Amino acid sequence: MNYPNHIEIGYSPVLDCHTSHIAVKLTEILTNIDRCSGKELEKEAKFLKNGDAGMIKMIPTKAMVVETFAEYPTLGRFAVRDMR
């Protein structure tokens, strides 16, 4: 994660996937992961800070179609960015 502050549940960034740009809401932080070893550090973390890696659950505010990376790599990539 490259963000100056920390993110927590309720954070609403924009998800860019191919030509879609949809606001999403962070609903759950599943795990905080060590970036070097890939091992899980904390389950159900309260926040992620700059430099952290984690598994999160986010819900789009509008319907969107996303291909799986395994089936269509060029359409299965995404980026999450701040709305500001």
Q: What would the pLDDT profile of 42-57 be if each residue is shown by its tens digit? A: 898 888 888 888 999 9
Task: For residues 5 and 74, give the distance between their C-alpha atoms in angstroms, rounded to a whole number.
Answer: 30
pLDDT at 84: 67
pLDDT digits (tens, 9 = 90+) for 51-84: 888 999 999 999 988 888 898 888 778 888 887 6
pLDDT at 2 over 70: no
- Express as a percent the part of the chain with pLDDT over 70: 94
Residue 74 pLDDT? 80
Query: What CATH architecture is 7-81?
Result: Beta Barrel (2.40)
Model pTM greater than 0.85? no
Q: Under a CB-based contact definition with an 8 Å cutoff, are residues 61 and 21 in contact?
A: no
